[in-house]
Structure 1
Amino acid sequence: MAQNQPIFPIKPEEHSVHIPVSIERDSTTLTNSNQKPNHWPTILFSTIFVIIGQSIAKLLENFYYDKTNRTEINQHRQDDGVWTQSLLQTVGFPLLLLPFIILTTKKHNNTSVQFHYKSLAVIYICIGIIMSVQGRLSAMGKLEIPFLLFTLIYPTTQLLFTPIFARFINKIKFNRWVVISLVLAVGTVALSFTSTFGGEPGSSEESFSRGITAALFAGVCFSLFLCNIQNVFDNYIFKRTESSTTIRKPSFASVFEVIIFSSLVATLISVVGLLVAGEQHDLKREMSGFQNGKGAYVMVMVGQAVSWQLYWVGIVGLVFSVSSVLSNVISVVTWPIVSVLVVNLFDFGNFTGEGDDEFDIFKGVALITAVLSVAAYFFRLHKENRDSAY
């Protein structure tokens, strides 16, 4: 019996199970496929949220501009509503409080964990500032330059700067499939130049210098937003699960946490900007003059706020699941879908004086390149998941 004693102690083997926790979220890899068992479902649902949220938000935005008689607005009031549009992108964050509380309670753990409250507070304030500036600049850019030019500058800037920031901020390494996906995404943007927009400025309302600058910096801000979100996950939220004495996988509640606190800051900034600019008076005028009535106006505004929250859940969810780069790719390749929906639901040809809108070959090819861009990235994810299984 004494000879059998050494066989039973298993503490060294049990202890060895905890070693991989410190590398569960490795920022030098692109996919982090081993960090959670629901990797693919999270990616797919987040992608669906981005497509649905952005599509509905953009359609309602077009409907808003189409029914507020933009043709009667003179050049000095061309930028009316930019703070309002920025506010609509973040003001719906209270809708996320309930799922956040439910997921947080479900994942409650009594172990002592360092939450880095002060550091996260500063970071959320910075991200909120970036969100508000990005929302304001993107809303301004669309009203200052032709939409085809905005379509080329804004998403292309995102696709160029997000990989650069991700490489230096998040230490992400790239491979040929990711490069192919980015190239196809840029091609998708280039083919979307025939897209139309309800707030298209007239020739007398265009301001190329301000519009181009706004579109350019809006794209840079969006890239900074995505990469800073990933930095929060990598260096704070995921590490606080590793600091626990019990192995805990990151919860999707962290996605709601990031959106809620960042949106709170962005909302406060947008409200202040709206009041300083006096846009609260424009809201009353727009509601009274809305072609479909006051009730429809309120529904359009509420619908935009809700849709933007769905979009942010998808965007941040993709950063949580994979990386800022994939999140940006999915966001950009959704543009052709919106363009096709706008063509089928609106007729801005007479509005802009450029003839009727139609589904042309460029929109069709843009849809194809968008699918190929996502397929290239997803193929890489599948390949890495398969390799990690062996």
Structure 2
Amino acid sequence: MLMLLAGGTVATLLSRLYYNSGGNSKWMATLTQSGGAPLLAIPLLLTPPTPSEEERRRPAPSKLAAVYLGIGVLIGIDNLMYAYALQYLPVSTFSLVAATQLAFNAVTSRLINAQRFTPLIANSVVVLTFAAALLGVGASSDGTSSGGGAPAPPRGRYAAGFVLTLAASAVFALILSLYELAFERVVRARTPRWVLRTQMHTNLVASAVAVAGLLASGEWRTVQGEMAAFRDGPARYVLTLAGAAVSWQAALAGQVRLVARVSSLFANATGAVQLPLVPVFAVVLFGDRMTGVKAVAMLMAVWGFLSYVYQHYLDGRRAAAAAGKDGGECAVCAARAASDAVSHAP
């Protein structure tokens, strides 16, 4: 959970720094979101397999390849849509529309993962969505968009950015639900090694999609000039992109781990908590103004997150009570059987 919140916050701030400092390559921004995948080999090698993992039969390679390829291509497409949308829209509007991924995930988790939808979960989704929307409205009203006072985008680009953000939010919700389905039906394991392995391979596929797009579009020719013109110099350009790549993978590792341990909806709800956290750091790093609207959005996000956590706590108590009841019944049956055996003994 900490990796998701910290990694997502740092990655968002570094991505904003990239655009504010003169970065303009959409395919480079796309590659940054998945390009840190090879680094996952380090914790994968350092994480020992569990005894159950060694005994369990490995999934069929063809099924794993289909999972990696399918989800990886979706991640690459999703990253590209977000990169375009972030360039076409002010950050405030982007955040407002991207908040719909919570609603999309509520639908996909219900249809694909048979997620039980309780009033507390509904409250969490609604409150978190409104918190992100309120944050977007507040940012647009006080002029804290990352555009730095840049003119509004043309109407055509604005509409395209709106549609792309909406589509990317829906695809991201689908990706989280597919991760959960893959752990249940194909991998049939939820260990840290399988989480790292699945994340690494799917993001390697997404990186291949981004590299192919970077080469096919010809944007690779402009990277050297973009690096030279970067506001803080070429070294800061490399450090910004490298830091963003590592942070995105840390955030995704935390999110995929939550998908494996709990559910895709819980992972998405937890990730939404970082949306109000970004302005707090932006006040210090970029000089943004902290308004009452942002403070209220932060409180709403915490409220929505705690609502979902409380539902998870109730589910855990019910499961423990049911297990205790079954265990008690088994103990009573065993005691009765032993008593009968003694009474019938010669």
- Aligning the two structures, in what range does the TM-score lie when normalised by the shorter sequence? 0.7 to 0.9
C-alpha displacement of 1:137? 0.5
Which of the pair is proportionally richer in helix? 2
Aligned to 1:90, the other structure's residue is in SS state coil
C-alpha displacement of 1:146? 2.6
* Counterpart code for 2:316: N
Q: Which residue of 1 aligns with 2:336?
A: none
C-alpha displacement of 1:82? 1.2
C-alpha displacement of 1:287? 1.2
Contact 2:5 2:273 in 1 (8 A): no
- Cα separation, 2, equivalents of 1:212 and 1:111: 49
Q: Which residue of 2 aligns with 1:51?
A: 5
Aligned to 1:389, the other structure's residue is in SS state helix
Structure 1 residue aligned with 2:151, among 192, 195, 202?
Answer: 202
Aligned to 1:203, the other structure's residue is in SS state coil
Structure 2 residue aligned with 1:88, among 32, 38, 41?
Answer: 32
Q: Which residue of 1 aligns with 2:235?
A: 295
Q: Which residue of 1 aligns with 2:119?
A: 176
C-alpha displacement of 1:114? 4.3
2:11 counterpart of 1:67: no
2:244 counterpart of 1:313: no
Q: Which residue of 1 aligns with 2:62?
A: 118
Q: Which residue of 2 aligns with 1:15?
A: none
- Cα separation, 1, equivalents of 2:282 and 2:112: 36
- Cα separation, 1, equivalents of 2:128 and 2:243: 28
Q: Which moved more, 1:59-68 or 1:260-269?
A: 59-68
* Counterpart code for 2:146: G
Q: Which residue of 2 aligns with 1:338?
A: 278
Q: Which residue of 2 aligns with 1:372?
A: 303
Residues 387, 67 of structure 1: alpha-carbon distance in 2 compared, 3 angstrom cutoff: same
- Cα separation, 2, equivalents of 1:360 and 1:199: 18
Deviations 1:136-180 (A, max 9, x none): 111111111232222111222x11211111111111111111111
Residues 220, 204 of structure 1: alpha-carbon distance in 2 compared, 3 angstrom cutoff: closer
Contact 2:96 2:134 in 1 (8 A): no
TM-score by length of 1: 0.76
* Aligned residues with identical type, % of pairs: 29
State how 1:326-365 maps to structure 2 within 5 Å. Answer: 326-347=266-287, 357-365=288-296
How many pairs are equivalent? 314
Gaps of 5+ in 2: 322-346
State how 1:128-277 maps to structure 2 within 5 Å. Answer: 128-156=72-100, 158-193=101-136, 194-195=138-139, 196-199=144-147, 202-205=151-154, 207-238=157-188, 250-277=190-217
- Cα separation, 2, equivalents of 1:104 and 1:224: 31
Residues 112, 381 of structure 1: alpha-carbon distance in 2 compared, 3 angstrom cutoff: closer
C-alpha displacement of 1:291? 2.0
C-alpha displacement of 1:329? 1.0
2:313 counterpart of 1:382: yes
Deviations 1:105-124 (A, max 9, x none): 45586546141221121121
Residues 204, 370 of structure 1: alpha-carbon distance in 2 compared, 3 angstrom cutoff: closer
- Cα separation, 1, equivalents of 2:251 and 2:216: 28
TM-score by length of 2: 0.86
- Cα separation, 2, equivalents of 1:228 and 1:116: 18
Contact 1:62 1:197 in 2 (8 A): no
Gaps of 5+ in 1: 1-46, 71-79, 242-249, 348-356
- Cα separation, 2, equivalents of 1:131 and 1:267: 9
Q: Which moved more, 1:120-129 or 1:265-274?
A: 120-129
* Counterpart code for 2:170: V
Contact 1:143 1:199 in 2 (8 A): no
